[in-house]
Amino acid sequence: MTHRKKERKLGRKIGPRKALAKNLITSLILHNKIKTTKAKAKFIQPKVERIITIAKKKTLASKRRIHALLVSKKAEKKIISELVEKYKERKSGFTRILKIGRRKGDGAEMVQIEFV
């Protein structure tokens, strides 16, 4: 049964799913917006929000937690220097999902996830 199972599986086992999430989150941070499927965007949105909330504390422990959740050091530096300053006054709602349309090949619903 799938009662109280919150996280989406995206048709992948745990290792590839974690790698996908890390790569999507890192790409979003580096490029400020990415095009992906609706399911993947909904999967990473709460994770991105949580990372920014953790980074706002600016402690050594928060930097280490961010390091564990991202792929590149460039993304870590960008969060700590730029994004935390940008969202200093904001409590939540750092990202938005905009619908683009359907993908031509398989008809998957495509969206653009970006920072507000």
Q: Identify the pLDDT of residue 1.
A: 76
Alpha helical stretches, state H, the chain: 14-31, 38-55, 60-69, 73-78, 84-86
The total of structural domains in the chain comes to 1
Mean pLDDT of the chain: 93
In a domain, 9, yes or no: no
Q: Write the CATH number for 56.
A: 3.90.1030.10
Domain extent, residue 74, equals 14-115
Percent of the residues in the chain that have a pLDDT greater than 90, as a whole number: 88
Distance CA(116)–CA(77), nearest Å, equals: 19
Within a domain: residue 62?
Answer: yes
53 is a domain residue: yes
Please state the pTM of the whole predicted model: 0.89
Tokens of 50: 């949580």
Q: What does residue 96 show for φ and ψ, rounded to 5 degrees?
A: -140, 155
Mean pLDDT of 65-80: 94
Inside any domain, residue 87: yes
Spatial separation of the C-alpha atoms in residues 38 and 41, rounded to whole Å: 5
Judge whether 82 lies within some domain.
yes
Model confidence at 6: pLDDT above 90: no
- Confirm whether 4 is domain-assigned: no
Number of neighbouring beta carbons within 10 Å of residue 84:
18
Is the residue at 7 inside a domain? Answer: no
Report if residue 83 sits inside a domain.
Answer: yes
